[in-house]
Each structure stands twice: as C-alpha cells, then as structure tokens.
C-alpha cells in the first residue's frame, strides 16, 4: 500500500460522524457518554476511561428520541464500539 493511498474501509456499515450526548443505563447506574459515530446497527461511544462499563446495557440517546439495547464489541482507551440488537421500550 502506498502511504498516500486512503485506508481500506473494512466496516460492513458506513458510519456517520456525529456528536450526541447519551446515557449508558444498567440495572444500578447511569453513565454519561457521547456518541462519536453511528449507523443503523451500532455506534462508537466515548466514555470516561476510569468507569467500568458492562458488556450489555441500554443506550439512551435523547437526540434520537430512542433507547437502544447494546452489546460491546470492542474497547480502546475510553472508546467503545457497540452493536445495537434492539430498541428498549421499557418493557420486557
């Protein structure tokens, strides 16, 4: 690969760059975060690296007027890649 060539995109879904406030909601705590990029099936979140984030949680995004069920797919230096697997409507 030539150094001036653009990087190869390996993602299966294009991500739109955004900056949205959000809240990670678990059974016993709510954690503030920001959504850095997002697509229909997931997002990249920025969180305080000192906070322990569980593997599964509900992500509430007021700008979307939605709450998504999310599972962590990767973690790196205060960033999380999450996959959405449903919309949380407050009922089980």
Predicted local confidence at residue 12, as pLDDT: 52
On whether residue 92 sits in a domain, the answer given is no
Whole-Å CA distances, 6 to 1, 9, 11, 17: 9, 9, 14, 18
As a whole number, mean pLDDT of residues 50-68 equals 95
Find the domain containing 57 and state its range: 16-87
Instruction: Assess contact for 26 and 55: CB atoms under 8 A.
Output: no
Predicted local confidence at residue 3, as pLDDT: 57
Q: 18: pLDDT confidence band, cut at 50, 70 and 90?
A: confident
Share of the chain above pLDDT 70, in %: 79
Phi then psi dihedrals of residue 64, to 5 deg: -90, -10
Mean residue pLDDT of the chain comes to: 86
On whether residue 3 sits in a domain, the answer given is no
Q: What is the pTM of this model?
A: 0.78
Confidence check: pLDDT of 90 > 80:
no
Q: Number of structural domains, the chain?
A: 1
| CA-closest candidate to residue 14, choices 44, 49, 45, 48 | 44
3-state secondary structure of 46: strand
Q: What CATH number is given to the structural domain containing 22?
A: 2.40.10.220
Confidence check: pLDDT of 11 > 90:
no
On whether residue 20 sits in a domain, the answer given is yes
Write out the two tokens for 2.
């030539």
On whether residue 32 sits in a domain, the answer given is yes
Compare 27 and 17 and report the one with higher pLDDT: 27
């Amino acid at each position: 690969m030539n150094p001036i060539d653009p990087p190869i995109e390996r993602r299966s879904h294009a991500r739109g760059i955004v900056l949205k406030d959000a809240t990670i909601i678990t059974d016993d705590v709510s954690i503030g975060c920001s959504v850095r990029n997002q697509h229909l099936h997931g997002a990249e979140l920025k969180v305080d690296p000192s906070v322990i984030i569980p593997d599964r949680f509900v992500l509430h995004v007021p700008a979307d007027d939605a709450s998504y069920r999310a599972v962590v797919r990767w973690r790196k230096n205060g960033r999380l890649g999450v996959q959405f697997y449903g919309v949380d409507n407050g009922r089980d």
